[in-house]
Structure 1
Amino acid sequence: MSETHTQTVDPDAAATLATELATAPFVRVYGHADGDSLAAAGLLAVALRSRSVPFQIHVSDDPAGDLTDPDTEPVDDDSQTVLVTSGRRDVADHAMPPADDSRPASVVAAAVSRELGVDPDPLLALAGTIAAGSLPGTDGSGSLLEQAEQSGLVERRPGVAVPTADLADGVAHSTLLSGPFSGDTDAGEALLAELDLPAEPAEFDDEDHTRVASVVALETSTAETSTPKAADAVETVLRPYATPNGPFATLGGYADVLSALAAETPGLAISLALGAANVTDEALDTWRDHANAAHRALQEPITGRYEGVFVLRVETDRPAALPTVARLAQQFRSPEPVALVVTADPVDGQRHAAAAAAADDPQGLAESVASVATEFGGTAGGTPTQATCSVGGDVSDGDLIAAVREALE
């Protein structure tokens, strides 16, 4: 049985949006670069393609800004624009989810898909739900989980949520975890070797999966860098929904890959959603590269604690990994509500920063960070709980940190 879901989708709102899109000569979808928005855009793309409605999808850190950019190609009066984000949504014809709706965008997109007469992929929708920080079966996703369970698409079991059958690979590269084994496949293999498990994960029974979950949870929550809330964060990775016939081993693993693709190559995720052949391996390679960069950045940061903000100066040449670094720092390391990550050195002539706050403690990060970008003549984007910023390389990391702290206050 699925867990009780706390909300249901407004059928009238979904029906109204579906009607508008079904009759549109062209639909432009602008999505934020996160796993939930990406899954929602993918669900919408599948439905529009099935209805032979031409569409274009654009994913970025600042979709609202891109939509209103004067250099953006003009939108035909008869075209419909859909903004898929939990950030600013008042600049498009339609918002997903609506501004007063706290449900994941994937849940709303699935409802719109049904109204368009197209059955949504429950695995993609549920993976997007997890990427949004919700549990399958909650926040309006109950019917999706029920459908997946009844169709045999998912099966809950003990263990950890990773996208690969190779658990050492999955645990080492997971960006849902931050522990001593993160970014180190050899350490992941050594961790599992101590458990004397069967040679193949396919031979694991529930007890084997439970032992894996226990040691991963223990190592993660007791790491030297972990804060007490790390124990709560790791809970979301335990007792996963296995997906025997899905593109990845578990729903949580699917969500992890979507989030990595959103930051690195969103077009690949859209191709995955549209059913393109032979893209799973490429998606996993992207996920591994993204995870390695994020975990490397977290290995030896210079940290500072201020009232309300935990700052990490990191070394990285991959700015796309910074939102993941900030999220992991917030979930597993930060003793303050907000984690702020700043590159110690400029990358390609730009100083980069990313901030993350707990989903249940929104800080209006996008607005705060945008004000800092304006101050320094840079660019920014994000949502109430995550934001990114790029400014000129002549701005010092100290000045950028001070400006963000002041904006948050």
Structure 2
Amino acid sequence: MSAADHPEDASTASDVAARCRDAEFVRLVATPDGDALAATGILASALAARDVAFQTSVTWWPATDSEADLTVSVGATGGDVSLTDTTLAPAAADVATELDADPDATLALAGAVAAGDDPGEHAALLDEAGLDRDPGIAGPADDVADAMAHTTLAHAPFSGDPEETARTLAGVDREGRTLASLFALSVLETGARYAGEAVERALHPYALADRFAMATLAGYADVLDATARVRPGTGVALALGYDVRETALDGWREHARTVHGTVREATFARHDGLVVTDVTDEASAATLGSVARLVRDFRSPEPVVLAQSGGTAAVASAETDVTTLVAEAASAVGGEARIRAADGVGTPACAQVRVDETEMDAVVAALRRALP
């Protein structure tokens, strides 16, 4: 089982940097989320500055064969060394500094926001980036209707539906504070247990300067997270600083429409402490993690959500570290589990499980037994 692998741990920037410094060809394997993607971009740029060859992949289920003399796993255990036990992008910035590179503070902060951190928790990076907050809604572009329709930082009744968003905005003053209030109230209509706190991620964002491809820090984080899941090649290019803005925004919108539609139509099986939802969309394998997170924050009455499709499931938790619970549940039926170090609440609470489709009910039962 992947979750049970025990690679050589490197919990400090100096440890990771030392291994990278001695390598000639490095393979970077990231979990498909915005924080891991940002961290991978930072590490890859640092390696490039040292003329070290590298290869990147973004996947829950990496292949084991590689010609690289060092494999760095970013976001989950595996490979020769891993970054797993902290917010990844700021940790990767520390590694880059150890490698005498100049990491992108804004990219590191975007990764942190994708992981659920407040930028203020990374004061040195925030000071270096020189960002200030604006009223309004977090989005990657200045079009507020686009931001409200397609952000996956929150879920409202109109989310993922540009036409419904336009109707909601009809006759509304689009001044920042008014928009923020409208969006927050719309989200709170869901009555979900964690909605009030979770929606804060989408409000009063830090603005980015004109030289950046994205308008706000949280919007940048949202696009990184979306592309990591549905267009990983584009996501890597974005994290490396290539001009792929329009392609990345297309992926972000595609991801948002799929995820919000799925969340809106989802039906639940509620258990004590756990909600299970079946996902049938064709793109479900790529979007399960986002669906689980948004259901947890904006629809679920319980703190743990399992979103499943066939033999694959994503588990997200608002209060409980489900690392051991998920690993044990998968192991009980001979399946695989990959545990993400952190998710949108900044805790080790997100995992991907892969089992024979007929065994998913057994995974759910095992998870229910393991929950406190």
Structure 1 residue 281: deviation in Å?
0.7
The alpha-carbon deviation at position 143 of structure 1 amounts to: 1.2
Match of 2:169 in 1: 192
Residue 115 in 1 paired to residue 98 in 2?
yes
Do structure 1's residue 126 and structure 2's residue 109 form an aligned pair? yes
Structure 2 counterparts to residues 154-165 of structure 1, below 5 A: 154-165=131-142
Which among 301, 318, 323 is matched to residue 266 of structure 2?
Answer: 301
Shift in alpha-carbon separation, 1:17–1:386, aligned structure 2, 3 A? closer
How far apart in 2 are the matches of 1:251 and 1:170? 13
Match of 1:401?
A: 364
Q: Which has the higher contact order (CA 8 A, sep 6+)?
A: 2
Deviations 1:170-209 (A, max 9, x none): 1111111111111111121122223133xxxxxxxxxx10
Q: Does the 8 A contact of 2:32 with 2:229 survive in 1?
A: yes
Which deviations, in whole Å up to 9, do the C-alpha atoms of 1:265-322 show, x marking residues without a partner?
A: 2221111122223x11111111111111111111222212211101223332212111
Report what 1:201 is aligned to: none
- TM-score (structure 1 length as normaliser): 0.80
Q: Are the counterparts in 2 of residues 107 and 125 from structure 1 also a CA contact under 8 Å?
A: yes
> Superposition pairs for residues 27-106 of structure 1, below 5 Å?
27-63=26-62, 66=63, 69=64, 72-73=65-66, 79-85=69-75, 87-88=76-77, 91-97=78-84, 99=85, 102=86, 104-106=87-89
CA contact (8 A) 2:46 2:96 kept: yes
Q: Is 1:262 the equivalent of 2:225?
A: no
CA distance in 2, matches of 1:42, 1:230: 31
How do 1:5-404 residues align onto structure 2 when only pairs under 5 Å count?
13-63=12-62, 66=63, 69=64, 72-73=65-66, 79-85=69-75, 87-88=76-77, 91-97=78-84, 99=85, 102=86, 104-138=87-121, 141-149=122-130, 154-197=131-174, 208-223=175-190, 226-245=191-210, 246-277=212-243, 279-319=244-284, 320-343=286-309, 350-358=310-318, 361-364=320-323, 367-374=324-331, 376=333, 378-383=335-340, 384-393=348-357, 395=358, 398=361, 401-404=364-367
Listed one character per residue, the Cα deviations across residues 153-180 of structure 1 (whole Å, up to 9, x for unaligned) are x331111111122111111111111111
Instruction: Provide TM-score, normalisation by structure 2.
Output: 0.87
Alignment check: 8 A CA contact 1:61 1:380 kept? no
**Structure 1 contact 248–254 (Cα < 8 Å) conserved:** yes
What is the rounded CA distance, in whole Å, between the counterparts of 2:93 and 2:258 in structure 1? 32
Tell me the CA shift for residue 378 of structure 1: 4.7
What is the one-letter code of the residue matched to 2:111? G
1:148 offset after TM fit, Å? 1.0
Amino acid at match of 1:73: S
Aligned residues: 353
Contact 2:333/2:359 (CA < 8 Å) preserved in 1?
Answer: no
Distance 1:13 1:371 in 2: 28
CA contact (8 A) 1:240 1:250 kept: yes
Aligned to 2:264, what secondary structure does the other structure show? Answer: coil
Contact 1:229–1:332 (CA<8 Å) still a contact in 2? yes
Bigger CA drift: 210-219 or 294-303? 294-303
Q: Secondary structure in 2 aligned to 1:137? A: helix
Q: What fraction of aligned residue pairs are identical, expressed as a percent?
A: 41
Deviation at 1:228, TM superposition (A): 3.7
Aligned counterpart, 2:6:
none
> What RMSD, in angstroms, separates the aligned Cα atoms of the two structures?
2.3
Match of 2:311, SS state, is strand
Distance (whole Å) between structure 2 residues aligned to residue 403 and residue 194 of structure 1: 51
Task: Look up the SS of the partner of 2:220 in the other structure.
Answer: helix
**Preserved CA contact (<8 Å) 2:137 2:147:** no
Shift in alpha-carbon separation, 1:389–1:94, aligned structure 2, 3 A: closer
Separation (CA, whole Å) in 2 of partners of 1:27 and 1:342: 34
For residues 80 and 398 of structure 1, do their structure 2 counterparts lie closer, same or farther at Cα, with a shift above 3 Å needed?
closer
Q: Could you say which residue in structure 2 is the equivalent of 1:200?
A: none
Counterpart residue identity of residue 320, structure 2: D
Q: 1 CA distance for matches of 2:268 and 2:15?
A: 49
User: C-alpha distance in 2, partners of 1:169/1:249?
Assistant: 12
Q: Determine if contact 1:32/1:382 at 8 Å carries over to the other structure.
A: no
Residues 379 and 389, structure 1, Cα contact 8 Å, conserved in 2? yes
Distance 1:328 1:137 in 2: 23
CA distance in 2, matches of 1:41, 1:122: 14
On the 8 A contact 1:126/1:136 being kept in 2, the answer is: yes
Q: Residue in 1 aligned with 2:344?
A: none
Equivalent position SS for 1:297: helix
